[in-house]
Amino acid sequence: MSAEERRESVVRAALIEFARGGYHGTSTEAIARRVGVSQPYLFRLFPGKQAIFAAAAERCVEETWRVFDEASTGLSGSAAAEAMSDAYMGLVEDRDQLMMQMQLYVSVSAARAAGEEEIGETARRLWESLFDRVRIRIGGDMEDATRFFSYGMLINTLVALGYPPDHRIWSGFEGCGPPA
Amino acid sequence: MSAEERRESVVRAALIEFARGGYHGTSTEAIARRVGVSQPYLFRLFPGKQAIFAAAAERCVEETWRVFDEASTGLSGSAAAEAMSDAYMGLVEDRDQLMMQMQLYVSVSAARAAGEEEIGETARRLWESLFDRVRIRIGGDMEDATRFFSYGMLINTLVALGYPPDHRIWSGFEGCGPPA
DNA sequence: GTAGCTAGTGATTGGCCACTAACTTGAAGG
DNA sequence: CCTTCAAGTTAGTGGCCAATCACTAGCTAC
C-alpha cells in the first residue's frame, strides 16, 4: 500500500479514536492498532500526534459539509435548511462524526491553555468555512444560520451525553425536524 | 484549614484546571499547585482523580443553575427566558465555567468508550435536572426549553473556539439577546 | 546482480503521571 | 508532659506513552 493510501486510512482510524477518547485520551498505539500497522510507522507518515489530530479534524468538518451538500443540492432557503436538518439528524447514528467535532472544540481551549494559538486559528477557519457555506445555502441570513447551528450543537451535546433517540429529552425538537 | 474547607478549594481549583485541559489533559499535580498543597494530599481528600472531576462537574452545573436562578427569581415565561439568556451571555466572560460543561459532555463519551457507563449516568442526571428546572421556570414547554439550551450550546462552542465577543460570528444572536 | 528506494517492524528510551507508604508537625485534652 | 489525632509532606513506584533509531523485505533500474 502506498504511503498516501496509508495516510488516508490513518486519518479515518484517527477520527474514530480521537472522537471517542479525545486528544489526550487517545494513544498513537490505539490508532496504529486500528489501522493495522505498527505504532512507530505513524511517525513516518505524519510529523507527530498533533498533525494526525489536525488531519482528522479537517476531515471531520469536510465530511459534515459533504453530508449537508449532498442533502441539499438544488435546494435553497428553508427547504435547504430542512433537508440539512434531517441529514444532520441522520448523523446521530454515526456518533463518531459528531463527537470528533466536540473534541475539536474542546481541544482548542486546551491548546490555548498550553500557549498554542495555532490550533485555534485552524479550528476557527474550519468553523467559519462550514458556517458560511451553510448560511449561503439557506439564504444568507445570519440569524437563520445561527439558529441552525445552535440546534446542531445541542444535538452534539445530547449525543455526547449518550441519550437514546427515543428519550424524552429529544421531544423538544419536534418543531424543527425530529430525530429519525 | 479543615479537610472540608480544603476539599472545597480543591473543587474550585479542579474546575478551572479541568475546564482548560480536559480530564486527561489535566494532571493532579496542576490542581494541587493551584490549591497550594502537595499533590499526594489530594488523594487523602478524594478517592481518586475521577472523584475530583465528578465533584467539579457537579459544582459547575450547580453554579450554572445558581446564575439562572438569581437572574430570574420572581420572573416566569419569556421574561424569565430573556433574563436567563442575558445572564448566560454574562458567563461568556467566565470561560472556565462554560468550558467545564463541555469537558463534562465529552468525557462521558470517553468514559463510555472505556466501558464505564457510570459517569454518563451522573452527567445525564445533572443535565436533566438543570434542563427541567429551566424549563419549568420559562413556562414548562419542551420546545421552548430546547431552543433555550440549543443557543446555550452554540455559545459554549463559540467560546471554546475562542471567538472574541465582537466577532461577526456572534451577530446572529441579535434576535435572542446579543453578547454583552 | 547490485545499488537504491519505499513500506514497514522491533526494541528502546526518557518523561510524565496517578497513586502509595511512611514520616512530620502542631494543637487539643487529660 | 505526654498522648492522640488531624493536616500535611517527602520520597518513591509501576505503568503508560510519544517519539527515535537501527534494521529488514521486496521492488525497480541499470
Q: Of A62, A52, A58, A66, which is closest to residue A122 (Cα–Cα)?
A: A58
Residue type, A21: G
Q: Mutate which of B106, B119, B127, B170 to test chain A, going by most A C-beta atoms within 10 A? A: B106
- Per-residue pLDDT at B92 exceeds 90: yes
Q: Are B84 and B148 in contact (CB under 8 A)?
A: yes
- Whether A38 CB is under 7 Å from strand C: yes
| The residue to which cell 471554546 is assigned | B160
For residues A127-132, give the mean pLDDT.
98
On the 0-12 / 13-18 / 19+ scale of CB atoms within 10 A, B127 is buried
Determine the average pLDDT of the residues in A140-160. Answer: 98
Nearest to B162 among A114, A120, A142 (CB): A120
Tell me, what's the pLDDT at A176? Answer: 61
DSSP per position, A49-99:
HHHHHHHHHHHHHHHHHHHHHHHHTT--HHHHHHHHHHHHHHHTT-HHHHH
Report the residue of chain B nearest A132, measured CA to CA: B169
Using the 8-state DSSP alphabet, how is residue B163 labeled? -
Taken as a whole, chain A contains a residue count of 180
Is the model's pLDDT at B176 over the cut of 90?
no
* Band of pLDDT at residue B174, cut at 50, 70 and 90: confident
Q: Does the CB of A2 fall within 7 Å of any strand C atom?
A: yes
Q: Are B149 and A123 in contact (CB under 8 A)?
A: no
Task: List, in sequence order, every beta strand (DSSP E) within chain B.
Answer: none
Q: How confident is the model at residue B175 (pLDDT cuts 50, 70, 90)?
A: low
Joined grid coordinates for residue B10: 480543591
- What are the tens digits of pLDDT across the range A22-75? 999 999 999 999 999 999 999 999 999 999 999 999 999 999 999 999 999 999
**Residue-wise pLDDT tens digits, A66-113:** 999 999 999 999 999 999 999 999 999 999 999 999 999 999 999 998
As a whole number of Å, the end-to-end CA separation of chain B is: 38
Q: Residue A115 pLDDT > 90, yes or no?
A: no
Q: Is the pLDDT of residue A177 over 70?
A: no
Contacts of A127 in chain B (CB under 8 A): 161, 169
Task: Please judge whether A106 and B22 are an interchain contact, meaning their C-beta atoms are less than 8 angstroms apart.
Answer: yes
| Interatomic separation, CA of residue A11 and C1' of nucleotide D2, rounded (Å) | 69
User: What is the per-residue pLDDT for A174?
Assistant: 78
Q: What is the pLDDT of residue B65?
A: 98
Taking CA–CA distances from A104, the nearest residue in chain B reads B161
Which residues from A are below 8 Å from B105, CB to CB? 102, 157, 160-161
DSSP state of A27: -
In contact, B22 and B107? CB cutoff 8 Å: yes
Closest residue, chain A, to B110 (C-alpha): A21
Question: Would the pLDDT of B91 be above 90?
Answer: yes
Average pLDDT for residues B121-127, to the nearest whole number? 97
Cβ burial, residue B117 (10 Å; 0-12/13-18/19+): exposed
Taking the CA of residue B74 and the nearest CA in chain A, the distance in Å comes to: 25
The residue written with cell numbers 463519551 in the block is B109
Letter string b/e over residues B152-166, b meaning 16 or more CB atoms within 10 A of that residue's CB: bbbbbbbbbbbbeee
The answer to whether the beta carbon of residue B28 comes closer than 7 angstroms to any atom of strand C is yes
What is the distance between the alpha carbons of residues B48 and B145, in angstroms, rounded to a whole number? 36
Chain C positions with an atom below 7 A of a protein C-beta are 6-11, 16-22
Distances (CA, A) of B172 to A176, B61, B178: 18, 26, 8
Task: Indicate if the pLDDT at residue A179 is higher than 70.
Answer: no
CA-to-C1' span, A27 to D16 (A): 9
Smallest CA–C1' separation from A24, nucleotide: D17
Which of A85, A92, A98, A157 to probe by mutation at the B interface, max B CB count within 10 Å? A157
Q: Which residue of A has its CA nearest to B25?
A: A24
Amino acid at the residue A48:
G
Distance CA A46, CA A14 (A): 12
B2 Cα to chain A: minimum distance (Å): 31
Reported as a pLDDT band with limits 50, 70 and 90, residue B179 is very low
- Candidates A99, A144, A150; nearest CB to B150: A150
